[in-house]
A and B are shown apart, each in its own frame.
Chain A
Amino acid sequence: MILPYTLRLVFLCFACFFLVQAVFGLASWAGTTGAIRAAETMGPRSAARFLLLLRLLPGTLAAFAVAVLCIPSYLLLETNAPGERVGLLCSAAALLGAAISIRSLARVARVLWISARHNSVCLREGQNMEEAGRSSILVMNGERPVMALTGVIRQRIVVSRALLQALSGEELDAALDHERAHHKSRDNLKRLMMAMAPEIFPFSRLFARLERSWARFTEYAADDEAAAGDSRRSVSLASALVNVARMGGPGAVPELASSLLEDNDELAWRVERLLSPAPAREETRSRAFFTIAAVAIAVAAITLALQPLTLNLAHTLLEHLVR
């Protein structure tokens, strides 16, 4: 296929994005079981951070390779010839790269749209109970037991009246603290980042297990922060969870929301954890997270420091790819 200068750059960007994302994505996917096992030895917050990093790393590296290597090396070193042939491999990779990017953008647009619509309904129909210096609480009418932190930038806790009536004062306090913990750690923003992170192939869901594990550790972390090492608060939160499950399970909330009880499958585990909490080990074993982050920063720094050598190398690789 003969393509003009600018279109060739677009093809190369998507092809480069796909290939880097595929290499690191497959490595990340292959290491999922080991990573989850490693995460289980950490404190829940560190574990969630580690799994989030693993999920975001392939896409971030791919975007980095395109922005720092592919585009500058092409613009600086490629002669502006009127038309040049682009090979089959490059075209296929570019199409796959475009497909995974479009899919990610569509997913982000969908979750943002659903979240915005849900927020506007909550604001219109809910009764606002501002908490001084804390996230606002919206009380909604409805039979289903809803308690969730919604929104990404302006976050609110949405509670259904049915749940307010069903929970005791202590249970409600502990449940609200669980949602505040999600607020504090910006878990909804992390959900959005995960929605933004591309898959390896257009119709695959290879990161689903990693994402589920991240969600599980996030819930554990919010439980621990709500309990704050107090056994009574742990028991109150456990009791709140069981009450929500008794009321027929959690009501539907958008994808960009952190619900008190995501699904009933995790209920028994969470209650057991709250009733017999393990000794805190939050900050002692978070080395894996810092190691990965340090390696990524070091690679970026070396790449930038070795200019123009890296640009020349990148250009040579692109020349091979385009053929």
Chain B
Amino acid sequence: MEPENKSFSTNTESTHTALGHLERSIMEVLWSRGECSVREVAADLPKPLAYTTVMTTLDRLYKKNLLRRRKTDRAFRYLPRLSRNDWERQRADSLLAGFLTGSCSRSDLLISCLVEAIGEHNQTLLDELAKKIREKRKELDRGREK
């Protein structure tokens, strides 16, 4: 039975970290707005969805232990159990833990993949910044010509 008014209840099952597209959109709404009713979440979603669809998804997220909820009057209000950063961290932790506890885990392989990924990320970032600098230079040159 759900607790009445004011007190939040949480699901005690372990947190499932994989989210579907709609679940992710709903979490984004809750992370940016804080505590919301089903109607408020539905109103803030990027595309309109049926009230019952949103309610079912919120209930699923609650069962995945990602949300807390409390009953006010006749409706539930939902609140994220973890901040966005904590959730991202937990996702990364469980991904790593899953890999390292595998039957033929190769931590050196994982680390080399991570280093490579970070290197690629840095390279992409530097390319993006260099592109912005080139564009700014062009803009300044155009301004000078005028």
Contacts and interface: CB of A to CB of B under 8 A. Distances in A.
A318 B51 CA distance: 68
Given A264-B122, A268-B125, A242 B140 contact: no
A238 B126 CA distance: 11
A116 interface: no
A266 to B, nearest CB: 12
Contacts of A246: 126
Interface stretch (B14-22, B58-66, B91-99, B131-139): B131-139
A232 B122 CA distance: 25
B122 to A, nearest CB: 7
Interface string A227-248: 0000110010011001001100
A275 interface: yes
Contacts of B140: 231-232, 235
Interface residues of B, number: 10
Contact of B136 (A235, A245, A267, A268): A235
Contact of B133 (A245, A264, A267, A275): A275
B122 A271 contact: no
B129 interface: yes
Contacts of A232: 140
B75 interface: no
A242 B36 CA distance: 43
A163 B136 CA distance: 23
Contacts of A268: 125, 129
Contacts of B129: 238, 242, 267-268, 271
B130 interface: yes
Nearest to A239: B133
A275 B125 CA distance: 15
Contacts of B122: 245, 264
A268 B130 CA distance: 11
Interface string A193-237: 000000000000000000000000000000000000001100100
A7 B126 CA distance: 60
A246 B140 CA distance: 24
A245 B128 CA distance: 13
B125 A238 contact: no
B126 A235 contact: no
A86 B140 CA distance: 72
A245 B132 contact: no
Contact of B137 (A235, A245, A264): A235
A172 to B, nearest CB: 16
Nearest to B135: A275
A232 B144 CA distance: 11
Interface in A256-284: 264, 267-268, 271-272, 275
B85 to A, nearest CB: 15
Nearest to B130: A242
Contacts of B130: 239, 242
Contacts of B126: 242, 245-246
A242, A245, A264, A272 — most chain B CB neighbours (10 Å): A242
B71 to A, nearest CB: 33
Nearest to A249: B122
Contacts of B136: 231, 235, 238, 275
A261 B125 CA distance: 16
Contacts of A239: 130, 133
A231 to B, nearest CB: 6
A271 B135 CA distance: 13
A318 B69 CA distance: 53
Nearest first, the 10 closest Cβ-Cβ pairs linking A and B are A271-B129, A275-B136, A242-B129, A239-B133, A235-B136, A238-B133, A242-B130, A246-B126, A235-B137, A231-B140
Given A232-B140, A239-B133, 7 more contacts: A231-B136, A231-B140, A242-B126, A242-B129, A268-B129, A271-B132, A275-B136
28 contacts: A231-B136, A231-B140, A232-B140, A235-B136, A235-B137, A235-B140, A238-B129, A238-B133, A238-B136, A239-B130, A242-B126, A242-B129, A242-B130, A242-B133, A245-B122, A245-B126, A246-B126, A264-B122, A267-B125, A267-B129, A268-B125, A268-B129, A271-B129, A271-B132, A271-B133, A272-B132, A275-B133, A275-B136
